Amino acid sequence: MVQTLTVLGLESSCDDTAAAVVRQTKGAKAEILSSVVHGQTDLHSAFGGVVPEIAARAHAEKLDVCVVQALDAAGLSLRDMDAIAVTAGPGLIGGVMSGVMCAKGLSAATGLPLIGVNHLAGHALTPRLTDDIAFPYLMLLVSGGHCQYLIAHGPEQFTRLGGTIDDAPGEAFDKTARLLGLPQPGGPSVEVEARDGNAQRFRFPRPLLDRPGSDLSFSGLKTALMRMRDQIVAVKGGLTRQDRADLCAGFQQAIVDTLAEKTRRAIDLYLDHNPVDPVVAVAGGVAANSAIRTALESVCAQKGARFTAPPLALCTDNAAMIAYAGLERFRAGARDGLDLTARPRWPLDQHSPAMLGSGKKGAKA
Ligand code: KG4
Ligand code: ZN
């Protein structure tokens, strides 16, 4: 096996079309040579959510542009690549298929090996890409479509300790923004509003805290928010800026408190088996939220665990994480053929029972 590997990665599982080039010399930290992301927020904004058919079409139109831009930015050509990695699931199936077909075309034309990557593994391995974290570590994957606690043992070995039984937190942020007339994606809008709000004014539930373990539930929060919003509107005829800020602050605080407590429990479970130099990593779009990061940091400090979170641009969907996860698989000897299939569902921990509920990306993986 060559010591230095350079991999082109493609991502198209939701509403970001992305391509990136990542290089790693065995035993050294990986290097992101380029990372291009074309978001689709404008295309979906009129609909209040991601429209799968529009997303798939836009991915098909933009993927080759992203590939050219990523190669140019890296100063390399396809001839310099050792493999092509692509998100093969889970995600919105039309988008995943756009990426897989593009990667197959490139692989067939160049003879480069094709590596299918689990999008969730891309997020879950990001701490290795950014901070060279060794296995094992505890990962909180928290995004628009997913929320789960995983022990990462290896590039394809994960144990799920718990997860959401309904909505993902990002989905709850997005729905909250929609209910309050704030722009999408909802997470950043709600976070900005919450800065000027009083989190104590409205009492939001802290779901599933009365149940042992690390499973989570977020769908009740938006129902609570809708009820509070409707009460204010019934009394005053509308929402003031302060009402909106207070609702956002109360909602965000409920998510912060819930994630903090469930993380405390997940760390306890993790420490039972891995007590030496514990590392807790967070990834996924919601990890961009600074109130959540601060709370997780303080839980980790209390538990004596090192906390790591990728830079914001690598928390949300990107192709550098896919190129890196593909590079790890490739180094471990994995190869996929032109029969690689796009998968709407693809749980990281094949041994855990499926979680209930469904979200933006379909049934929870
Ligand atoms: O990981 P990601 O880019 O896509 C998925 O795989 O889902 O995550 C996108 C999600 C969206 O729901 C977005 O609202 C949320 O991450 N998000 C945030 C923040 N930035 C993005 N949620 C809370 N606070 C933020 N600052
Ligand atoms: Zn994602």
For the chain, the straight-line distance linking the first and the last C-alpha, in angstroms and rounded, comes to: 33
Q: Give pLDDT tens digits for 241-263.
A: 999 999 999 999 999 999 999 99
Task: Report, as an integer, the average pLDDT of 262-276.
Answer: 94
DSSP-based three-state secondary structure for 263: helix
Q: How confident is the model at residue 357 (pLDDT cuts 50, 70, 90)?
A: very low
Tokens, residue 73: 């930015």
Shortest-distance Cα residue to atom 23 of ligand 1: 187
Q: Does residue 286 have its Cβ closer than 6 Å to ligand 1? A: yes
pLDDT of residue 2: 64
Share of the chain above pLDDT 90, in %: 81
DSSP-based three-state secondary structure for 23: strand
Q: Where are the beta strands (DSSP E) in the chain?
A: 4-11, 16-25, 31-39, 83-89, 114-118, 137-142, 147-154, 157-163, 279-283, 306-308, 358-359, 362-363
Q: Does residue 284 have its Cβ closer than 6 Å to ligand 1? A: yes
Q: Does residue 99 have its Cβ closer than 6 Å to ligand 1? A: no
| DSSP per-residue string spanning 210-242 | TSSSS-B--HHHHHHHHHHHHHHHHHHSS--HH
Rg (CA), the chain: 20
Which strand (E) or helix (H) includes residue 189?
helix 186-194
CB neighbour class for 314 (10 Å; exposed up to 12, middle 13-18, buried from 19): buried
Per the listing, tokens 């407590």 go with 261
Question: How much helix, strand and coil, in percent to the nearest 5, is found in the chain?
Answer: 45, 20, 35
Return the closest-CA partner of residue 282 out of 312, 324, 258: 312
Task: Report, as an integer, the average pLDDT of 64-74.
Answer: 98
Using a cut of 0.75, tell me whether the model's pTM lies above it: yes
Q: Give pLDDT tens digits for 108-151.
A: 999 999 999 999 999 999 999 999 999 999 999 999 888 999 99
Residue 12, pLDDT above cutoff 50: yes
Compute the distance from residue 315 Cα to the ligand 2 centre, in Å: 8
Residue 50, pLDDT above cutoff 90: no
Residues with Cβ within 8 Å of 223's Cβ and at least 6 positions away in sequence, in order, are none
Q: Does residue 188 have its Cβ closer than 6 Å to ligand 1? A: yes
